[in-house]
Amino acid sequence: MTIKDVARAAGVSTATVSRVLNESGYVSQGARERIAQVMREMNYQPNALARSLKQERTRTVGLILPDMTNAYFMAAARRLQQQLLEQDYHLIYMDSGEDPDKELEAIGLLRQMRVEALILAGTGAHAALLAQLQAAGTPVVLLDRRVEGLAADLVVEDNAAAAEQAALYLLDRYGADIGFIAGPDRVSTARERRSGLTRALQARGVQLAPERIYAGDYTRASGRAAAAHFLGLARRPQAVFSANNEMTFGLYLGMKEHGLALDAMEVVSFGRLDAAALFTARLSVIVQQPERIGEAAAELTLRRVLHKQQRDAAGGESLVFAPRLEWASAND
């Protein structure tokens, strides 16, 4: 089923068929209709590979995510895909599983597929390669996470500011009697959330004992471990600040396991925790907006690939969204 078959069946040359395919150049009404008819009858689908090869344009964007079972990323991805689709751009996903090696492989594959742009929520490991990609003319858009040493377009949330605000609230209420469950330091959002806390501590002139900070890794299991840790202390914190919602879920699991009421400690968490609507807790959340992140990333990407808008040599455009804080008193 090629353009040749269509041309023959319609009694025209391939060029004419190509013209109706691309809505370019002049084609008589009669020919146009005949060709359209034939295409429908044969159920012809143009070969995207051949078109892309010839046009040097794939209308394709790569997206690398660390975990495609993560609700936050998938919400962003979904919106992103919708937006791109409106401009006839297609998304090719890859899942790195937080593994730099797999990320490297994914980047390679996407390059081979000649994606016109790369959107990345990365492990942070391949700054040099990404810079090279950019230099070669493929726009790179960082999503949610920064990559140290890489000046690229950026769509992120203001983690530090939100964390600082949340921490100030807790410090003013409980002083140093709080616990912090940190994320993995290799991820920029985790670093920023930690530094927000640090800023708040400095602002209030408070020191946090080392055992009040638990080094988690954004997983539910580490939140559960944090609960065990905090509840094992001579004096357990009155409140906990958790750097993401998975760890918060784990924290509650751990509290339950230790026979503690779930509203025994006040908790502030990054990211929504739907489950909290079903039990009694004192939970405040820093509400993120993956859809807006996805939409902004799409908009930025399209600007680069559609309008060939060049990035400044110095650095890219930064879009920073402020998460909303949702304070909750006992929510039962």
Alpha-carbon distance of 19 to 252, in angstroms, equals 62
Alpha-carbon distance of 288 to 326, in angstroms, equals 10
Q: Is 36 in the site for its own copies (CB under 8 A)?
A: no
- Residues found near DNA in the complex (CB under 7 A): 2-4, 11-19, 21-22, 24-31, 46-47, 50-51, 53-56
Whichever of 214 and 252 has its CB closer to its own copies, that residue is 252
Q: Is 329 in the site for its own copies (CB under 8 A)?
A: no
Q: Which of 21, 31, 109, 328 binds its own copies (CB under 8 A)?
A: 109
**298 burial type by CB count under 10 A (0-12 exposed, 13-18 middle, 19+ buried):** buried
Answer with the entry of its own copies, DNA, none that 18 interacts with (C-beta below 5 to 8 A by kind): DNA
C-alpha closest to that of 102 among 60, 142, 66 = 66
Q: Are strands 178-182 and 239-242 parallel, antiparallel or unpaired?
A: parallel
Whichever of 10 and 147 has its CB closer to DNA, that residue is 10
Answer with the entry of DNA, its own copies, none that 19 interacts with (C-beta below 5 to 8 A by kind): DNA
**115 burial type by CB count under 10 A (0-12 exposed, 13-18 middle, 19+ buried):** buried
Whichever of 68 and 206 has its CB closer to its own copies, that residue is 68
End-to-end CA distance of the chain: 63
Nearest approach, Cβ of 142 to DNA (angstroms)?
28
Alpha-carbon distance of 286 to 273, in angstroms, equals 10
Q: Is 93 in the site for its own copies (CB under 8 A)?
A: yes
Q: At what angle do helices 3-10 and 14-22 cross, to 10 degrees?
A: 110
Whichever of 24 and 45 has its CB closer to its own copies, that residue is 45
DSSP 18-62: HHHHHT-S---HHHHHHHHHHHHHHT----HHHHHHHHT---EEE
Q: Is 100 in the site for its own copies (CB under 8 A)?
A: no
E strands in 192-313: 213-215, 239-242, 266-270, 282-287
DSSP state for residue 204 in the 8-state scheme:
H
Nearest approach, Cβ of 198 to its own copies (angstroms)?
31
Answer with the entry of its own copies, DNA, none that 16 interacts with (C-beta below 5 to 8 A by kind): DNA
Q: Is 228 in the site for its own copies (CB under 8 A)?
A: no
Whichever of 133 and 190 has its CB closer to DNA, that residue is 133
Nearest approach, Cβ of 113 to its own copies (angstroms)?
5
Binding site for its own copies (CB under 8 A): 43, 45-50, 52-53, 58, 68-69, 71, 74-75, 77-78, 81, 90-93, 95, 108-109, 111-114, 132, 249, 252-253, 256, 262, 274-275, 277-279
